[in-house]
Structure 1
Amino acid sequence: MPLEPKVRGVLFDIDDTFTTDGRITPTAFSALADWANSGRIAVAVTGRSAGWCDHIARMWPVNAVIGENGAFWFAFDQKARHMQRWFVRSQAEREASSRAFSTLSHAILEAVPQARVASDQAYRVSDLAIDFAEDCGPLPLQDAQRIAAIMIQAGMTAKVSSIHVNGWFGNFDKLTTTRLLAQDLFGITEDQIRDEFVYIGDSPNDSPMFSYFSRSVGVANVARYEGLIDHWPKFVCSGESGAGFAELVSHMLARGA
C-alpha cells in the first residue's frame, strides 16, 4: 500500500476486522493503542449498537465511533468528560422505526427460523440486527441474503456483515456518516478524508468504504465474500481479522506513514 500522502487517520470496522472469532486480541488492541499514541486519528466504524458504541467511545483509544452502520457518531472528550452524540434521524423517527421492528423480525424468523434477533438489539436505537453467525449458526450466506431481501422488501436499507444482517429506514450508511463526522468533528474535507485516511474492513457492508477511499484495505478473510461485495478493497492484508489489522498498523508506523 502506498504511504503518500501521509496517513492522517485510520477508520476500521470492528467485527472480524479488529476482532478475531468474536474476541479482541492483545495484538490488535496494542496496535490500536500504538496508532493512537502516534498522535493520529482513529475512528471505529461499525454495525454495533449504541450501547456498545458508548463504551467504545469512552474506553477505547479512539477519537470517535460511528455505529449502527452510520446511524450516529459518538465522541468522548476526556478532558471535559463530555460525550458528543449526533444522530442522522430524529428521536421520533427512531422510535417509529423501533415499533416496526417487532413485526418485521417475526416475519424474518418465520422465513429463516435458524436465525435470531441479535443479542445486542436491546441496545440499538436505529436498526434491526438479525444474527446469522454470532450466537447461532453460522448459517449459509444465502440465508443472510434472504434476510436482507425481506428487509429491502419492507422498505429498509439492508447490509450483510460477517455476523449480522442489519436493516434500517433511511438513506445513510457508513460512508455518508463518515463524511459528516470528518467535517463536523475534525474539520476535514471530503477530499482530505478520501485521500489522507485509510479504511480497513472485511465484509459486504464495507463496500461503500472500499469504493470511496483511495487506500481501502481488506483483512485476508474478506476473501470469503468474493462475488458478494460490489466494490473490492484496493489492498488486502496477508493476515486475517485482528492479525490483519495489526499488520496494517505496523506497516504504516514502521514506515512513518
Structure 2
Amino acid sequence: MKPIASFPAETARRIVCVLTDIDDTLTTDGQLPAASYAALEKLRGAGLAVVPVTGRPAGWCDMIARFWPVDGVIGENGAFYFRHDPVAKKMIRKFIATEDERAANRRKLLALGARILSEVPGAAISADQLYREADLAIDVCEDVPPLPRAAVNKIVCLFEREGGIAKVSSIHVNGWFGRYDKLAMTRIFLRERLGLDLDEAKERIVFCGDSPNDAPMFGFFPYACGVANVRDFESSMTATPAFVASKRGGEGFVEIAERILSARTSV
C-alpha cells in the first residue's frame, strides 16, 4: 500500500466517481465528523458522483439517499441500491432478491441468529437489525465488548455451515443467503443509474474503505484507497487498497478527498 500523497495527480483529474464505505471510513469512533460530510459535499460539488457502499441497513440507507450529498447508496453489503430522484420525489429501490426470497431468507437468518447467540458468548444481534431487509448483522464490537478473533471466526463458520455468506466489517459480522457482494451491486448501480460500464471505467473510479468486507472492492479497483485503520486487518484480508491515508477513520477519508480535489483544482 502506497501513501495517499503518491496518488497520481493525472489519475485524480480523471476520476468520475468516488465510492466509499461508511463505518470507520467516513466515521471516527462511531460518529460522522463534519469534515467527512463536508468532503462528500465538496467531491460532489466538483462534479464527481458520490456513492456510499455500506453494510448498514435499508432503513439507514433510505435516509442517506434522501438527505446526504450523494448520488445513491448501496446497502447491506450489496443486497440493494437506493437512489432518490428529487424531481420526481421518488425513491428508486433495486434489490438482488425478490420480496418473497427476502422473507424466506429472514426466517432462516432468525433461526441462525439464535444459534449464533447460544454458541458464541458475548455476541449480540446488531442494534440496527430491525431496519434490515436482507441480512443478519452480529455485533462483535460496536455495542458489546470486542470479541476475540476466534469468536469472530466461529460466527463466520456458522453462517457458512448453513450455506450463507459472511463478511467481517470493523464492527459486525454480516451474513446473508445469496451470491452477491458490494462489488456485484456496484456494477449494477453504475450501469443503471450512472451509465458506466464498470470494467471500462474502473480506472476512473476510487473506492475508499477500511476492513475485510471491502476486499472485493480493493481487489477490483486499481486506485482503491484505505484509511489508516485498514492496516489493523491487513493480515486477514484477501486484497488491500493500492493507497492508504496516514490518518484513521474520517480524518483519513478527508485526506483522500483532499488529494483528489487538490489535483483537480491545480489544473
TM beyond 0.5: yes
Residue 104 of structure 1 corresponds to: 112
In the alignment, structure 1 residue 168 sits paired with structure 2 residue 176: yes
CA contact (8 A) 1:182 1:193 kept: no
Q: 1:90 corresponds to which letter in structure 2?
A: T
2:47 to 32, 39, 52: 39
Residue of structure 1 in register with 2:99 after alignment: 91
Residue in structure 2 matched with residue 145 of structure 1 by the alignment: 153
Structure 1 residue identity aligned to 2:171: I
Q: How does 1:173-212 map to 2 (within 5 A)?
A: 173-212=181-220
Instruction: Provide the residue aligned with 1:49 in structure 2.
Output: 57
Structure 1 SS opposite 2:10: coil
Is 1:66–2:74 an aligned residue pair? yes
The normalised TM-score by structure 2 is 0.94
Which structure 1 segments of 5+ residues have no match? none
Match for 1:246: what amino acid?
V
Give, in angstroms, the shift of residue 141 of structure 1.
2.7
Post-superposition CA distance 1:122-156 (Å, at most 9, x none): 11010010000111112123321211111001100
Q: CA deviation at 1:115?
A: 0.8
d(CA) in 2 for partners of 1:179 and 1:3? 26
Which amino acid in structure 2 is aligned with residue 217 of structure 1? Answer: C
Q: Secondary structure at the match of 2:56?
A: coil
Task: Judge conservation of contact 1:53–1:65 (CA < 8 Å) in 2.
Answer: yes
Corresponding pairs, count: 257
Deviation sequence 1:7-56 (CA, Å, 0-9, x none): 10100000000111110001111111111111210000000000000000
AA matched with 1:12: T
Q: Look up the match of 1:2.
A: 8
In structure 1, distance between residues paired with 2:153 and 2:74? 24
2:157 is aligned with 1:158: no
User: Quick one: which amino acid aligns to residue 100 of structure 1?
Assistant: K
Question: SS of the residue aligned with 1:255?
Answer: helix
Q: Check conservation: 1:131, 1:165, Cα contact below 8 A.
A: yes
What is the match of residue 126 of structure 2? 118
TM-superposed deviation, 1:109: 0.8
Give the CA deviation at 1:255.
1.0
Partner of 1:233: 241
Q: Which one of 228, 235, 238 corresponds to residue 220 of structure 1? A: 228
Q: How far did 1:110 drift? A: 1.2
Structure 2 gaps, min length 5:
1-6
Give the % identical residues. 46
Distance 1:25 1:143 in 2: 31
| 1:134 aligned partner | 142
Selected match of 1:29 from 37, 40, 43: 37
One-letter identity of the residue aligned with 1:117: I
| 8 Å CA contact 2:109, 2:176 repeated in 1 | no
Q: Which amino acid aligns with 1:180?
A: I
Deviations 1:135-190 (A, max 9, x none): 11121233212111110011001000000000000000000110111111111012
SS at match of 1:95: helix
Contact 2:246 2:252 in 1 (8 A): yes
Equivalence map 1:241-256=2 (5 Å) = 241-256=249-264
Q: Is the 8 A contact 2:10 2:263 kept in 1?
A: no
